[in-house]
Structure 1
């Protein structure tokens, strides 16, 4: 038998040296063969990240190795010193889950990776390092690699940044790559490309991968074997297919139960009542930004971030806005919240253009529409007690009676599942799920009509997502809330939303009810998103026929005709000449594609459009 590349035996890690300190890892054993991809899955707090850092000898105080051994190529990595440790750093690489915060924002991406390579591989010339890194940027499919080498981190999308960090990990030709939740912050198409890249690494670079993830469907896509962690222990280990089809441990069965079903179950989210009140209406809303050209003097380019978006959101809707990174979702969110004003078009709330609101009327609008942001850690002030955070919005909106303020805050805390003893406590030490409940409570305390959820669940594991989705459903019934979910998680959208807008390069490409969009999408781009979804079910759409390659065109230089044609597997000559507009498919379902004919042209029954072969 081949000797394992990596072997952990009874590894126990504790938070502190005291004998009474509770283990974070408790007797963990695993092995990894050369060129193998092994997955480690579990909920937040199960010990996955500590395990991934223990493998690369990167435990930081107060974490300490209490017992066990970590053997890499037969050598105990915790016994290595000096030159041996430098060699280890060349042989093992680590990629984390926060691509945008991993590099210095003031230096070009390529220059930073050059410095890393020259530090880890002494004697490498700058010219050699630059040539090697450009080759790797091209190998991980970053477009125009030679030009992007000189760009800054802020000029990279999340997916491109994650691929750049994989390059950062590959510069030393490692034989082991530890990938810690690398797909969690990415949209589905980029995540699918990263998973495919991981598989290619095993053959192209002879690299083994320890793939740590909070998502069982994602691990299934990437790994041949999966280990399940719970409370610091490995509770189950099987081949991927056997684990999904025949789980043994109760926690594994619960993980599978909590994984949203995309096509295998009916969801009660579709609503066809067009008589409900319109609470928000977008009328050809667009947003452009001027950015200075890199060459010349005083010249500017126009970035068209949102282009002629028009739709209505009705009371009681759970409305989703989905699309790849850089499609304009976050810019549209800022327009809806009046954090920015559109460069053209209108956004109406209760029939009034929100751009005209001032003073008291603007404050009232702020009370009606609240936001719950993505980052459960960065969105809460760490030195403010939870109760004070929740009191803030009430005081801003004129509440002055202390007893009423405290009563309202405690009521909302109870509704979102927060214990009352947190009122006087700081948020330090709270889990991501608890912090996100504080954010939800802070948004609800003013009894708003509309809640905008900007990637609210993307930083949480699937167990916490499951709990919060149930909470959102309960709150919607109690408060008659209207939700706007901005997300790249299509499984969450399938479970929670009744209507979906699909965006690409600033435009809405498809607008449809939940059932129609997931079972009969009208646009090739929507099919590509659905084909890339990680799932435990049989796929309805084949990735090899639909999945996209590369990045969307630059918003600085949007091509003529259909902006999707360069990536579309079904593009025809007409796509290069004419820009498609949203075409009615049925009732309130629309798709902006030349391949979709309007119902009157198709002769379909009941107003159903057909797709041109």
Structure 2
């Protein structure tokens, strides 16, 4: 490798976790890597492998109880480990930039985003004037394709979606035109279209700024779209480092081979009982949940009027049935109404119009006793595995709490809790311990056990696995399949992870701007969708397979229209590559295509042929 083109050269880096009383545990052991100008090095590994510690160590951002215990981090030949703090601060943020996975907590919510980035720029370039700094920030906001950049310069973080906030953090990192960008899992919390836009944006900006990128991810499919080479971490050690295509075709380490084999196969033949034949069998079974033309509108303050109100149309006329044994996936971009729908289905909120029937009973009309009984029969599992568990309760008490709420007492509780813990894959040794120290996957198993202890008939999984790495996701998906097979429960997956939906769902509902625009069996959804929005989602799925839908043709730019001011006609027409005059005036409804497949598009036949 040409030494002069190296931006970063890491030699034998080791990091320990200090445990107190002189004890310590290795987190990284003898890690070596290098990255050249204008190259992207991908880093992958499961939770606990040391990815985030490595990404922070590379910018010398490691503090107690972590400690760098050995090795060198050479930036253009200068060792960052021994560099005085003042010189390190001059490099960090100017020549070496970092973006984390949580853009929402990275900025001050009380200051407009443009002003915050200007202050950062002036701190790293003291000679620049405020006016020049503002102009450069606006130019960079425009470069990351934030619409109306000069206007949004003055807006606050809460006015930006997750995808837009991630773009803002890219601006914050790149406004100083750094040599090296460390991106730590920045696409994991984003939906597929926004993540694909971010990856395309990074590649464009890399070309424009000639920046080297170290891209940390839990998804091989994501690295496939951006990385030139991949370093694989396991238990704090480098087990493999190869160019990406070589890694896929000839992995050298069993751990890497397992990562590749565990990837959901999206475009191969339908081998997981998710096709139309299974959907037909389930459609003959009992209807567990019937959603009939429900809508939900939220009133918010209108910032343009002193006492004015504006209305957010979160869910608009949604209808579908969920049968016993069903695995229905609900997919769509952030802001499409998925989470609002989950709150309605789980009785956390009531719809403004329409009905939700659980086994024929309107859940909105149930009295308090009926609602309590209903919550025992179906459960909601949320995304965050950390904040959902009381830190001061033992794991056994957390799992037992629903039993106490529903009237079980005495000696019957512990045997029931232990039975479910074993079924879910939790060690009984954890029963009397606090959740501190549990991994994200273990915490999510505690949440699952707490739901399953009531023997529910229906589970609503609202992005339940999105915070987990690929390895943990695979384990928990296998668990849900086992529970469904053995208990006969019905599953409703709400997710932006289309690879996961392909694996486990027999039917898929696609939502856009609060409305279901396509409802089909799994096979039809992935191989013959009738709505261009569905094809846009599929074109953005991170995968190591060849995509049947060309991202250059289908991949969306920008975000959906504001749900406060929904355009007339088809709400997707402003982003649709096939829109015609009719789409501007007539709002399409779900129309049968073939069998149990439906699409809300005037151009379904044209889209199928495209």
TM-score bin (small chain): over 0.9
- Report the counterpart of residue 258 of structure 2 in structure 1: 254
- What are the residue-to-residue correspondences of 1:26-425 with 2, within 5 Å? 26-89=29-92, 90-265=94-269, 266-270=271-275, 271-273=279-281, 274-400=283-409, 402-425=410-433
> By how many angstroms is 1:82 displaced?
5.0
Give 3-state SS (helix, strand or coil) of 1:79's partner.
coil
SS of alignment partner, residue 131 of structure 2: helix
Q: Structure 1 runs of 4+ off > 4 angstroms?
A: 17-20, 609-613
**Alpha-carbon distance between aligned partners in 2 of 1:399 and 1:112, rounded to the nearest angstrom:** 54
Secondary structure at the counterpart of residue 61 of structure 2: coil
TM-superposition CA deviations, 1:341-388 (whole Å, max 9, x none):
111111111212211122100101111111111111121111211011
Answer yes or no: is the 8 Å Cα contact 2:12–2:29 preserved in 1: yes
Q: Is the 8 A contact 1:36 1:208 kept in 2?
A: yes
Q: Which runs of 5+ in 1 are unaligned?
A: 598-608
Contact 2:532 2:607 in 1 (8 A): no
Going from structure 1 to structure 2, the CA distance change for 1:129 and 1:343 (only over 3 Å counts) comes to: farther
User: How far apart are residue 83 of structure 1 and its match?
Assistant: 4.3
Query: Is the alpha carbon distance of 1:372 and 1:478 closer, same or farther for their aligned partners in structure 2, counting shifts above 3 Å?
Result: same
CA distance in 2, matches of 1:125, 1:361: 65
SS of the equivalent of 2:280 reads coil
Partners in 1 of 2:312 and 2:272 — Cα distance? 39
Match of 2:567 in 1: 559
Q: Aligned partners of 1:499 and 1:528: how far apart in 2? A: 18
In 2: Cα distance, 1:459 partner to 1:540 partner? 28
- 2:506 aligns with 498
Shift of 1:3: 3.5
The secondary structure found in structure 2 opposite 1:436 is: helix
**TM-score normalised by L of structure 1:** 0.95
Between the aligned partners of 1:556 and 1:114, the Cα distance in structure 2 is 31
Q: Partners of 1:496 and 1:5 in 2: how far apart?
A: 43
> Could you tell me whether the CA contact under 8 Å between 2:98 and 2:181 is conserved in 1?
yes
**1:580/1:390 CA distance change after superposition, 3 Å:** same
Assess, with a 3 A threshold, how the Cα gap between structure 1 residues 84 and 493 changes in structure 2: closer, same or farther: same
Conserved? CA contact 1:180–1:212, under 8 Å: yes
Q: Does 1:526 align with 2:534?
A: yes
Q: Deviations over 1:483-503 (max 9, x none)?
A: 111100000000011111000
Match for residue 456 of structure 2 among 441, 448, 457: 448
| Partners of 1:283 and 1:117 in 2: CA distance | 53
What's the CA shift for 1:146? Answer: 2.5
| Shift of residue 571, structure 1, vs aligned partner | 1.2
RMSD: 1.6
Once the two structures are superposed, residues 14-53 of structure 1 have per-residue CA deviations (whole angstroms, 9 ceiling, x without a partner) of 1129986332111111111011111011111111111100
CA distance in 2, matches of 1:220, 1:338: 40
Contact map agreement 1:319 1:499 (CA 8 A) in 2: yes
Shift in CA distance, 481/177, structure 1 to aligned 2, threshold 3 Å: same
Secondary structure in 1 matching 2:255: helix
Gaps of 5+ in 2: none
Would you say 1:486 and 2:494 are equivalent positions? yes
Q: Name 1:605's counterpart in structure 2.
A: none
Q: Give how far 1:215 is off.
A: 0.7
Contact 1:386 1:425 (8 Å CA) reproduced: yes
Count of matched residue pairs: 601
* 413-422 or 531-540: bigger deviation: 531-540
Per-residue deviation, 1:478: 1.9
Match of 1:508 among 516, 530, 537: 516
Can you list the C-alpha shifts for 1:260-310, whole angstroms capped at 9, x where unaligned? 000124221232122211111111111111121112221111111111111
Distance 1:165 1:596 in 2: 38
| Structure-1 separation of matches of 2:584 and 2:602 | 11
- Per-residue CA distance 1:120-154 (angstroms, 9 max, x = gap): 33244433333322222221112222332333333
